[in-house]
Structure 1
């Protein structure tokens, strides 16, 4: 069966590359994923993979979901990827135009090839191969291509979770998030991302008479210094060291204050971004911020501030390194190209964080594409890696769920 899987993918190599190129040519910016969703669905059905459709939170917000059904009861394997891509910035700077889908030296160039059309579509193409070969499995395989991931997933993964499309129904349920790990690493630990706005409240006045006002910007300077001190504290805390991910951090990422050059500013907003380790909570972060505000107010009664958390918190998560899916991918990777799987952590969040945190389904991150090219004008993916990813995903399903002839 391993040989049949590999041969089946190779037999469709040119067709898969052609289909992949067509999908890369779609300008699927966030909120504009309809074209790529339709092209994906039409292409899957044209290749005999019919169990596919769209789930929408609102019209025009497509989440493509496809299934390969097993012949016996068993767990569900959920593949996860997203359809939206980040803006291409100044297209004149690109040697290969971001949506031309140029192929050169075995690489396909374009916006979204790394983040993350290569991973998303290689998983769906794995569904085509499973369907072609009619591989008997226990359980079902679910393929998801969601919208909205780049702006925290309210219409995408969070909706699928909220409505129960993705949920744990079997003790052995598992998944793979297909974000880029260069097809050699697996992220089993991921930092959380928690953002808040802290609004400093002052008192406006004509700035020729500043003594009649309270400058919110001057007060914000004290808060910025305190946030920097908090960063030094949490990033060097010997009791919070993780073997796979960098130290925790907190940073003032944006500042918005003042309305005119001749007015004492009555408000100043700081956007603060916190990167958490597995095991930390938003409540702990909020307490840190409130403690700072309380201390500054005690030192200066004119200091007043309010905290407003952002929606879309990505929780920090960790997957057991000994989870069966980890070994299945390791075995498949070794079989396909002889590479040893390295277990690593991720600095940025993915939709897998929501799945793991809300359902308990182990969903490590493993996919084609060099994450260092993400968002650059040189974004591209090796077509060999794209094809290998399809093989690895099918083999991983077979190793986890396949019914062998001997049985």
Structure 2
């Protein structure tokens, strides 16, 4: 996970002077957002594609003032093989390409050191923990589990992996994560509990 704030710079003015002295920072930011908000053509067999999303935007002080600044936040989810530096360089290249075509496009970029930068990481398929939970899934559900992470979210498991402790994220499915009426399926919750029992039994056996 990589969190970046981009501030596009304009020139504040009264609305009456919007086409004379004003440079609307929201309009400049719109160019950047549309250029950045795209599918990334890269793939990892166990994790899938990286993701980029623009999730917050702040600008303007009044309805009759052309905004001189517009800041938006980027949430960039990395896959193994990518680094903070390589992902940041791609974002900077996109912004610099806009600046080359539009001399009025100016921006600053900030990576907040207090925000949660997480290097992409994954537990090896041959790990005893992975093997045990795969056994548990087979025993309880009769299905062959896939070694694939189809979700670019983050869990506290990253801290354990970074400390050299194997970790697997496995739990019930549901609906509307981080949205209205977020929920898990009760039947799947019961199934997952049984899988956990099988997994722990195998690890301790």
For the superposition of Structure 1 and Structure 2, which TM-score range results when normalised by the shorter chain? 0.7 to 0.9
Q: Is the 8 A contact 2:157 2:167 kept in 1?
A: yes
Distance, in Å, in 2 between the alignment partners of 1:266 and 1:373 is 36
Partner of 1:201: 9
Q: Alpha-carbon deviations, 1:88-146, whole Å to 9, x = none?
A: xxxxxxxxxxxxxxxxxxxxxxxxxxxxxxxxxxxxxxxxxxxxxxxxxxxxxxxxxxx
Partner of 2:88: 286
**How far apart are 1:280 and its partner, in Å?**
1.0
Counterparts in 2 of 1:234-383, with a 5 A limit?
Answer: 235-236=40-41, 240-310=42-112, 311-347=115-151, 348-356=153-161, 358-367=162-171, 369-372=172-175, 374=177, 375=179, 377=181, 379-382=183-186
- Find the structure with the greater CA-based Rg: 1
Distance, in Å, in 2 between the alignment partners of 1:308 and 1:396 is 43
**How far apart are 1:359 and its partner, in Å?**
1.3
TM-score between both structures, scaled by the size of structure 2: 0.80
User: Secondary structure at the residue paired with 1:196?
Assistant: strand
* Unaligned segments of structure 1, at least 5 residues: 1-192, 403-407
The structure 1 segments of at least 4 consecutive aligned residues displaced by more than 6 Å after TM superposition are: none
* Unaligned segments of structure 2, at least 5 residues: none
1:401 partnered with 2:165: no
Distance, in Å, in 1 between the alignment partners of 2:142 and 2:184 is 23
Q: Is the 8 A contact 1:315 1:354 kept in 2?
A: no
TM-score between both structures, scaled by the size of structure 1: 0.44
Distance, in Å, in 2 between the alignment partners of 1:392 and 1:243 is 25
How many pairs were matched up?
A: 200
Q: Is the 8 A contact 2:174 2:183 kept in 1?
A: no
- Relative to structure 1, is the Cα distance of residues 223 and 339 closer, same or farther in structure 2, using a 3 angstrom cutoff? closer
Q: Is the 8 A contact 1:250 1:273 kept in 2?
A: yes
Q: Alpha-carbon deviations, 1:324-355, whole Å to 9, x = none?
A: 11221222333345443332213222221332
Q: Alpha-carbon deviations, 1:163-203, whole Å to 9, x = none?
A: xxxxxxxxxxxxxxxxxxxxxxxxxxxxxx32222111222
